Structure formats: C-alpha cells, structure tokens
Structure 1
Amino acid sequence: MEQLAGVLAIDAGNSKTDVALVAADGTLLGTARGGGFAPQLDGPRAAVDGLAPLVAAAAAAAGLPADRPLAAQLQGCLANADLPVEEQALEAELADRGWALQTAVANDTFGLLRAGTDGPRGVAVVCGAGINCVGLLPDGRTARFPALGALTGDWGGGGGLATAAMWHATRAEDGRGPATGLAPAIAARFGLPSATALAEALHLGELGRERLHEVVPVLFDCARDGDPTARRLVDRQAEEIALLAEVAMRRLGLLDEPTPVVLGGGVLAAGQPLLLENLHQRLRRIAPLAEPRIVTAPPVLGAALLGLDRLAAPTTAHARLRTAYERLAVATAA
C-alpha cells in the first residue's frame, strides 16, 4: 500500500459529510461518513475540528497512517462556504491540519457540477436542504450567488419547502388560510392530531428539527393527488431552480449554446415527476440547447474528481473513480 494517497476529498453538507481517500490512478482507497457541517454556526476552526474523526476513519479504511500527510491534494467541497472570504478561512484551517501537501476549497455546488460533467463547463443547481447554483467556463470565469437564504433572495430546498408547507397547513387549520390537504396529510405522517401539533412539538424540542424535512415527501404526495396549494409550491420550486440556471447561463453567455445543467441534492435526486417535468419545460423555453442531467452519485465524487484535476491525472483515473462509485451504489442498493 502506498503511503501517500493522491486525493483526500471532503464533501461537507448541511446534513452529512463524506470523506474519501483516492489514489492518483483513481482507485478508491477508503471512505467515511459523518454528520453535517455548519461553520457559519460553529466557526471555521470548530467545524474543521469536527472533520478530524472522519479523516482518521477514512485513513484507517485505506490502511494509511494518520500521523502524517495522507494525500498530495486535499479538495474540500463545502456547504456554507458561500462567500470567497468563507472559502479562504476554511481553506486555511484545512491546510493547517497538515492532512495533505496542497489544499483547495470550493463551495459544494462546484463539486456537484464536476460530478455531472467531464470538464470545467456548465451550470449546476443543488436543491437539497437548501438551494444554490454555480456556473463555470474553461477560462475560469464563474457565475455564483451569495446563497445566504431569504436575506439574499433564495427560496426553496427541503427546508424552504417544508416550512412553506407547514405555513399553509397551519393557516388552514386556524382559519387564516384556505383549506388544503397538506394539513391532514402532515398530521397523519407524524401520528399527531394536527399540523399545528407538529409545529408545537418541534418548537418544544419533543421532535428534532431535522424531522421537519419529512414534510417534503408529504408535500409531493399531496401535489400528485391534485392539492392546489401543494401544486403551487412545487411549481414555485421549479421556477426558482429554472431562474437560477437561467441567470447563471446568461452571465456566462451560455443561453444559446449546448450546456450541461447539472441538477442534484435530495429534492431533485428524488426524481419527483411533477417537479422535473415542470422544470424541464421551463428550461426548454429558457435555453433550448440546455442539457439537464440529474446526478445521484455521492457529491464527494465531484470533490475527488476536482482533486484529480489538480493533480493532472489522466482520464483513465477519472473513469476508474466513477466506476468505483457506481459499483458502490449497486452494492448499497443490494
């Protein structure tokens, strides 16, 4: 076993973090998974401290000693690294750990883009716990958004959809809003008498806040069954995703060119027909030559591919790594 991997890849998201050690030839050496990554709440140092056990676990799985640099290149694709200053702070913290000879950090949406393309050209929209979009050209030009939530005009993602569904459901129950099937469906999903009871349980800490995301599949079920309120929310989510892609493509001059539009994150990867059909119709009107594609591979694949890019690895290395994750997905499904 070689004593220095090619890439230490870290994909740190809102809800989970994946770490992978990859040889320079694309062989997947070891992986580890842990919880979410919140430097905006914990601070860069504490957030990166939280990655240390995962890095150690991946090193153990790869049979590499953890008391020395593990890889030639560390590539982090990190959620909540939305501004350049945040990327720089996290890159400095990661470099200070000495886990790799070189360190680079990018927002996690760039990892999604790389996972869904063969080169540095295209647009990616992630709609998972939150929502974000990036675009990239081979000359290095990018299109980005602050992605700081409602403060910077963002709407949707799992958190936004769940909150909106609860807003309509509870208003329907207390008379401030029209009736909607969301109210009884949400109550039934949690075995509670009402959606308002769910709001109270979340507020009092009787249920963990992470369970709010369980409202999202209920929303899509209600939309599929024809509930007007649920359908409007799905339509708005498709509109928001399409708008992000449109603006990014316009900034980069890609609206009239064949352009990969990579779509990922839990809400999009779930493959909800109502959302995807609506979105594809909008993209056809906005950019007829756009090439939408759903990525369901673990986002850490994109971080690892970016790391291999930085090592100028051959295309065979990229192909080997993609195959490894495809096999891993099949084994997990079985």
Structure 2
Amino acid sequence: MTHQPEPLQPGVLAIDAGNSKTDVALVAADGTVLGTARGGGFQPQLVGGPRAAIVSLAPLVEAAAAAAGLSTADGVLTDHVSACLANADLPLEEQLLQSALEEQGWGASSAAVNDTFGLLRAGTDGPRGVAVVCGAGINCVGLLPDGRTARFPALGELTGDWGGGAGLATSSMWHAVRAEDGRGPATALAPAIAAHFGLRSAGAVAEALHLGQVEKWRLHEIVRLLFTAAESGDAIALDLVDRQADEITRLAVVALTRLDLLGESTPVVLGGGVLASRQPLLIDNVTARLAVAAPHAVPRVVVAPPVLGAALLGLDHLDAAGLGRGPAAHERLRAAYSAVQPVAA
C-alpha cells in the first residue's frame, strides 16, 4: 500500500481562472485564508492546450504558497486542489484539465470544473440551484443534490450563445459603426465610443482595433458606455440591455425546467462582471422576467471574488473525506469575503 505524503498545509488550494483574471487562494481546513495571488486570464485554446494552461498557473500557486510561508518545492502543498476554470465548457475538457492538475502534485487530490459551478456554490448553501454567469462571456449551469446537472456547451455563436461583455461590446460597435455610415439608426453609442478612445469616430476605433493600435481586451470598456447610453434613454442601448436580460432569463428557465425545479423555490445565482456590477437596468429587467417565467426562482447576485466558490467546493470535498471542520469552516471562509447580496423585490 502506497503511503500518501502528508500535505504541508492541511486544507484547500482554490483556483478560479476566468477569461480575464485568475485568483488563487490557499485556505486552511478551518476556512482561514492563508495566502492569495492574482494573475491574468485562463485561455487553454490560446496557450497550447490544457496542460500548458495549467502549467502557466504555477507562478500564482507558488506566490499564494509563499504568502503562507510555504513552497511547492518542499512537497505536496495541501489536501485538495479545487479549480473552477473558464473554457472548461465540455466534460472532456474538464477531464483533461483535471489530469493536468494531478500531474502538478499541488494537492493529494484535485478536481476541475467549469467556473460557473464555482459561482453556483458561492451563492448557495449546497448543491441545489441554477447559476448564470455573465462576464466576458455567458454560461449557465444547474445542479441537484443527486448529482444531476443542466449544462450548455457555451462555445459561443456555434452553440447559440449571445452576450456577456464581449458580445455586448461587439454588438455596441456594430450598431455604432452602422449609425455613422448610414446603414442603421442613430445611437449615442457612436460618439460615446469615439470619445472614450480619443478617436474621430467609432469606425476609426474599429480600424484601430483591427490594426492592433488599440488592444482588443479594451473592447470590454465599451460595456460601461452601453449602460450609460441606456440610462440616458438611447433606444439601441436599451434594446441591447433588454436582449441581454432576455438571454440570461432564458438560460435560467431552461436549466430550471431540465431539473424539474421550475415549480419549486430555487436559488438562481447571478454573477460575472456584467451582472456583479448590479446595473439596475439589467438586474431589474432580469428580476422582472424571472418573476413571470419562473415565479418560484429566488434571484441573488454574487459580488465576492469567484475564488470563494472554488474554495467552498474544496471544503465540501474535505468534509466528505472526513478531513474538514464542518459548517464553522464554511462560515469563516465566507466571512473573509462579502459574498451574496439579495436582489430587492
């Protein structure tokens, strides 16, 4: 029988790797946050695949360990690695990423899931509910205590997805340029986008993005301009916000229906940068739509760093393995983050 080496720090290495940023936290078994680190986005498709993407996390893991006075060079860092990862959209991708995590040897055990499951766990007390993430992209998952899930491929337009920061920004550009050249109706988005980037027109912004004179990640800045235009009553901007609310609601309702939860009081967790900004035009729209389409849904917005969800999933694993400290550890961890804000009725 092979003896499992003792971890340097009993507990969880929590990883939340999103499209735009990655957070790592080393959490003791009692829920105390010992060390954290933050880095850039997690995009396996751009860095050579799952193994290369996981290897790229090593400096962040080492930085979080160092903050706790430890080093991965000295042995197995902790009991369990809980990773909630963007772009782990298919079960096969989760399997490949988990295998790559296990190769690193950061924990005695490892689990990799799509980052939307982390959002769901951050906004609930257990494995029951639906979560919609609207950040750089958009996705939705649902989960029941018996392990059944509702999922979407979330591969962009190829699988019917629309919205998120990237979708809203691109659509805003589409309407702004068409307004300038006469193909579409006027919109306040056109002058707002031009002024924000200090260029003569939205068309000039498009050219600058194409030529690399403006970095493409800056497209997400347009989302703030969209909400400002919508608040001023711009019809195009209001239509885009309405379409986003409709998409979020459709995802939630489909997931609730698949899990036979439409007729039961069920948390619907909303998160990701676009939703966590709590723009009233969007949140109020989603809440109103859910009240009609899923009247038993209980919407709530998670504003804490998403790594909280990964850490809570890790503590769940420790509890199931007899290594955890129970509810007190979960409460201590939540106290370290400002987790959930209820949506006003």
2:26 aligns with one of 15, 21, 27: 21
2:63 aligns with one of 19, 43, 57: 57
Q: Where has structure 1 moved over 6 Å in runs of 4 or more?
A: none
User: Which amino acid in structure 1 is aligned with residue 76 of structure 2?
Assistant: P
- Report the aligned-residue RMSD: 1.0
* Partner deviation per Cα, 1:180-219 (whole Å, 9 max, x = no partner): 1110111111111110111111111111111000100100
- Which residue of the partner structure matches residue 331 of structure 1? none
User: In 2, Cα distance between the equivalents of 1:184 and 1:111?
Assistant: 38
- Which residue of the partner structure matches residue 183 of structure 2? 176
Q: When the two structures are superposed, what TM-score results if normalisation uses the length of structure 2? A: 0.93
Tell whether the 8 Å contact from 2:10 to 2:29 is kept in structure 1 after alignment.
Answer: yes
The share of aligned pairs that are identical, in percent, is 71
Aligned pairs, how many? 326
- Which residue of the partner structure matches residue 32 of structure 1? 37
> Could you tell me how far 1:241 is from its partner in structure 2?
0.1
Structure 2 residue 88 is the aligned partner of structure 1 residue 76: no
Give the secondary-structure state (helix, strand or coil) at the position aligned to 2:180: helix
- Which residue of the partner structure matches residue 322 of structure 1? 334
User: In 2, Cα distance between the equivalents of 1:305 and 1:276?
Assistant: 26
Tell whether the 8 Å contact from 1:5 to 1:21 is kept in structure 2 after alignment.
Answer: no
User: In 2, Cα distance between the equivalents of 1:205 and 1:65?
Assistant: 39
- Which residue of the partner structure matches residue 130 of structure 1? 137
User: In 2, Cα distance between the equivalents of 1:154 and 1:160?
Assistant: 9
- Which residue of the partner structure matches residue 307 of structure 2? 300
User: Which amino acid in structure 1 is aligned with residue 158 of structure 2?
Assistant: L
> Could you tell me how far 1:4 is from its partner in structure 2?
1.9
2:172 aligns with one of 165, 174, 178: 165
Give the secondary-structure state (helix, strand or coil) at the position aligned to 2:72: coil
> Could you tell me how far 1:45 is from its partner in structure 2?
1.5
User: In 2, Cα distance between the equivalents of 1:187 and 1:247?
Assistant: 38
In structure 1, stretches of 5+ residues that fail to align are: 328-334
Tell whether the 8 Å contact from 1:71 to 1:100 is kept in structure 2 after alignment.
Answer: yes
> Could you tell me how far 1:21 is from its partner in structure 2?
0.4
Structure 2 residue 168 is the aligned partner of structure 1 residue 156: no
User: In 2, Cα distance between the equivalents of 1:177 and 1:304?
Assistant: 47
User: In 2, Cα distance between the equivalents of 1:311 and 1:104?
Assistant: 12
Tell whether the 8 Å contact from 2:143 to 2:150 is kept in structure 1 after alignment.
Answer: yes
- Which residue of the partner structure matches residue 332 of structure 1? none
> Could you tell me how far 1:5 is from its partner in structure 2?
3.2
Give the secondary-structure state (helix, strand or coil) at the position aligned to 2:36: strand
2:271 aligns with one of 264, 267, 274: 264
